[in-house]
């Protein structure tokens, strides 16, 4: 049985030998402007969602808290009941970079994501859903007791 250290060494050797190469197609899908945006409007424009509308079909699910004890790992879950949901993003208004996460939702799968994010302070958190060429959102205020993001 290989240990995780042995597997890491094999992966490194394969990369060094040129047997394993990054997939440039995956790298091209990364939206640098959106992930580097310093304010909500800039992030929404970079995502193509400047005209997003609020929708009750987008909701924060458990375990998303009202109050987070520590901003270093705030659990966030988002569900969309909008047919044809293709993406879900999580944006934090007061973080140094607003876009915390973006997920592609494959056709025919449940439009639900769960992750942990860092929050530098109490802030509005926006769940942004892309479906049918349009964007929809829900907003939730989360109070942070102890800030994350190295502050």
| Model pLDDT, residue 131 | 98
| Model pLDDT, residue 130 | 98
pTM of the complete model: 0.79
Phi, psi angles (nearest 5°) of residue 53: -120, 145
| Model pLDDT, residue 146 | 73
Q: Let me know the angle formed at the C-alpha of 87 by 118 and 121, rounded to the nearest 5 degrees.
A: 20
CB-based contact 38:97 (threshold 8 Å):
yes
Phi, psi angles (nearest 5°) of residue 141: -85, 125
| Model pLDDT, residue 151 | 47
| DSSP at 24 | H
Which residues of the chain, if any, have pLDDT below 50? 20, 24-28, 151
Q: Which domains does the chain have, with CATH numbers?
A: 31-146 (2.60.40.2470)
| Model pLDDT, residue 27 | 45
| Model pLDDT, residue 85 | 98
């Amino acid at each position: 049985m290989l240990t995780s250290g042995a597997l890491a060494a094999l992966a490194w050797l394969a990369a060094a030998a040129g047997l394993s190469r990054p997939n440039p197609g995956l790298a091209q899908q990364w939206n640098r402007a959106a992930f580097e945006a310093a304010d909500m409007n800039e992030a929404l424009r970079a995502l193509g969602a400047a005209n997003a509308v609020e929708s009750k079909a987008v909701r924060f699910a458990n375990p998303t808290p009202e109050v987070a004890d520590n901003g270093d790992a705030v659990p966030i879950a988002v569900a969309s009941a909008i047919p044809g949901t293709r993406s879900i993003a999580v944006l934090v208004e007061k973080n140094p970079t607003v876009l915390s996460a973006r997920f592609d939702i494959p056709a025919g799968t449940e439009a639900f994501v769960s992750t942990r994010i860092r929050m530098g302070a109490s802030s509005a958190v926006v769940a942004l859903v892309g479906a049918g060429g349009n964007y929809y959102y829900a907003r939730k205020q989360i109070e942070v007791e102890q800030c994350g993001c190295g502050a």
